[in-house]
């Protein structure tokens, strides 16, 4: 459920008309519903209320400070993959002891910043990383709490670019190699082994892959306990999918029941890292039609948002529903919804039935809250759009639209370019 609804013929976000926001902030813009974010997080939390757990929002899915603050106010933690995301999480008020640091390429500087912030733990992905973390912790006089990220070689049914738990992927350590890594971790003086971690992919619409991975982690847990290691945390990652088109992902309650049945009686705290399932359907991208044109082959609707604003269709050939901000009596036509970027891949919908939009009409690109703005760029020297949040009858800009001066901030023309040739 989300709070983007039609009242008569106008699309509303909660109690604010989307068209009225467009009149005041311009287009394109991302629009988030506070009530939807809050509800999705609450539903997820309630599903696991009978199990010791920590919900760490996947910051990479949407790092906006306002979004993170909403989740922090509900007791959420953060799953981060960079020092920049650490900075954001702390600025948003997420306590350090609810932050876990994932990612295959952490630098010593990033490790140091996280250690000084006293985060809950690192999800370590290689022996080399483990040794660098031990040395970094020694240098600053800290102990690093860790989980080893396991690659369970489980194949989820999702886009190959967002599969992370196959043996051929760069993530984690194979189960059969992990005991040696845990033995190394146990021997290092500045490392404290606290958990096991695993994340198999994103936009998963079936439960079985999660359970397959969890069963492998349970077997590993028994071996680690036999080694005398006290494992306090089991991190099952994120990845639960949402409905973009006709997907039927499991409800968080169904997901939680399956995990609880598989875990059985346990004193271990489960760490969950949802992202898309919290924020995906809580945000939309609003854009304006610039032109329409027809050729002998196609009808095109050209809007002022581009692939630099929302790259998922170009990158993953992903589906986003297209809805009018104001419903009219216009007939449905087959068309491509495209942007102004100089790439054929600059599209939001191809060969799709949609209203017969005309210049000036507003279009809502749905389910854009996750990996929308967070993957936006300045390609074609296009300023990134503004972000807006609605709560009830109020709305606020939560990120200002970039300016042309922002585009060249930090760029320097060196003096030698203007020098005469020798």
In this prediction, residue 246 carries a pLDDT of 83
367-413: per-residue pLDDT in tens? Answer: 999 999 999 999 999 999 999 999 999 999 999 999 999 999 999 99
- If one compares 193 and 221, the residue with the highest pLDDT of the two is 193
In this prediction, residue 152 carries a pLDDT of 76
Superfamily of domain 4-31+280-407: Lyase, Ornithine Decarboxylase; Chain A, domain 1 (2.40.37.10)
In this prediction, residue 394 carries a pLDDT of 98
Task: Give the HSE-up count for residue 61: Cα atoms under 13 Å, Cβ half-sphere.
Answer: 30
Respond yes or no: is residue 342 known to be catalytic: yes
Q: Is the peptide bond before 182 cis (omega within 30 degrees of 0)?
A: no
Q: Phi, psi at residue 394, to the nearest 5°?
A: -115, 155
- Domain residue extents for the chain: 4-31+280-407, 34-276
Chain center to CA of 64: 11
Query: Helices in 237-375 by DSSP H: which ranges?
Result: 252-263, 276-279, 312-316
226-264: per-residue pLDDT in tens? Answer: 888 889 999 888 878 888 888 888 888 888 888 888 877
Residue 42 has pLDDT above 90, yes or no: yes
Q: What does pLDDT average to over the chain?
A: 91
Q: Among 13, 56, 198, 342, which one carries the catalytic annotation? A: 342
Q: Which two tokens stand for residue 335?
A: 């068309």
Q: Using CA atoms, how far apart are residues 282 and 348, in angstroms rounded to an integer?
A: 18
Strands 16-17 and 386-391: unpaired
- Is the distance from CB of 228 to CB of 184 less than 8 angstroms? no
Residue 281 has pLDDT above 50, yes or no: yes
Under the banding of pLDDT at 50, 70 and 90, the label for residue 198 is confident
Residue 116 has pLDDT above 70, yes or no: yes
In this prediction, residue 248 carries a pLDDT of 86
Residue 29 has pLDDT above 50, yes or no: yes
Residue 270 has pLDDT above 60, yes or no: yes
Residue 58 has pLDDT above 90, yes or no: yes
Under the banding of pLDDT at 50, 70 and 90, the label for residue 156 is low
- Is the distance from CB of 395 to CB of 388 less than 8 angstroms? yes
Percentage of the chain beyond pLDDT 90 is 71
Q: What pTM, to 2 d.p., does this model score? A: 0.93
- If one compares 307 and 172, the residue with the highest pLDDT of the two is 307
Nearest to 177 by CA among 222, 126, 212: 126
Give the count of beta carbons closer than 10 Å to the beta carbon of residue 247. 11
60-114: per-residue pLDDT in tens? Answer: 999 999 999 999 999 999 999 999 999 999 999 999 999 999 999 999 999 999 9
- Is the distance from CB of 198 to CB of 149 less than 8 angstroms? yes
Residue 125 has pLDDT above 50, yes or no: yes
CATH of domain 34-276: 3.20.20.10
In this prediction, residue 171 carries a pLDDT of 66
User: 316 CB contacts (<8 Å, ≥6 apart)?
Assistant: 159, 161, 162
């Amino acid at each position: 459920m989300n709070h983007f609804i039609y009242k008569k013929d106008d699309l509303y976000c909660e109690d604010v008309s989307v068209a009225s926001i467009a009149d005041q902030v311009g287009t394109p813009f991302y629009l988030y519903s506070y009530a939807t974010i809050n509800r999705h997080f609450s539903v997820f939390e309630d599903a696991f209320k009978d199990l010791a757990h920590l919900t760490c929002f996947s910051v990479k899915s949407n790092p906006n400070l306002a979004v993170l603050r909403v989740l922090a106010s509900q007791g959420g933690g953060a799953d981060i993959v960079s020092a920049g995301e650490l900075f954001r999480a702390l600025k948003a008020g997420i306590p350090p002891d609810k932050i876990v640091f994932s990612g295959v390429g952490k630098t010593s500087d990033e490790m140091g910043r996280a250690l000084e912030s006293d985060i809950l733990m690192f999800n370590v992905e290689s022996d080399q990383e483990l040794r660098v973390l031990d040395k970094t912790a020694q240098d600053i006089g800290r102990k690093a709490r860790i989980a080893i990220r396991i690659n369970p070689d489980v194949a989820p049914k999702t886009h190959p670019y967002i599969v992370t738990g196959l043996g051929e992927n760069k993530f984690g350590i194979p189960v059969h190699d992990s005991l040696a890594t845990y033995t190394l971790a146990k021997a290092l003086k500045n490392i404290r082994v606290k958990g096991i971690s695993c994340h198999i992919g994103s936009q998963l619409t079936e439960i079985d892959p999660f359970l397959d991975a969890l069963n492998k982690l349970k077997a590993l847990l028994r071996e680690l306990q036999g080694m005398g290691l006290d494992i306090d945390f089991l991190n099952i990652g994120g990845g639960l999918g949402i409905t973009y088109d006709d997907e039927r992902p499991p409800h968080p309650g169904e997901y939680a029941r399956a995990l609880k049945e598989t875990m059985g009686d346990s004193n271990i705290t489960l760490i969950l890292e949802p992202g898309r399932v919290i924020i995906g359907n809580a945000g939309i991208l609003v854009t304006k039609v610039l032109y329409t044109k027809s050729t002998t082959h196609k009808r095109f609707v050209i809007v002022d948002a581009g692939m630099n604003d929302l790259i998922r269709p170009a990158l993953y050939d992903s589906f986003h529903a297209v809805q009018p901000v104001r419903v009219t009596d216009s007939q449905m036509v087959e068309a491509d919804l495209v942007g102004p970027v100089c790439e054929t891949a600059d599209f939001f919908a191809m060969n799709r039935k949609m209203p017969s939009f005309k210049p000036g009409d507003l279009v809502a690109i749905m389910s854009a809250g996750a990996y929308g703005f967070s993957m936006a760029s300045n390609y074609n020297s296009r300023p990134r759009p503004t972000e807006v949040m609605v709560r009830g009858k109020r709305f606020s800009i939560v990120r200002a639209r970039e300016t042309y001066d922002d585009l060249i901030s930090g760029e320097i023309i060196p003096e030698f370019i203007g020098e005469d040739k020798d």
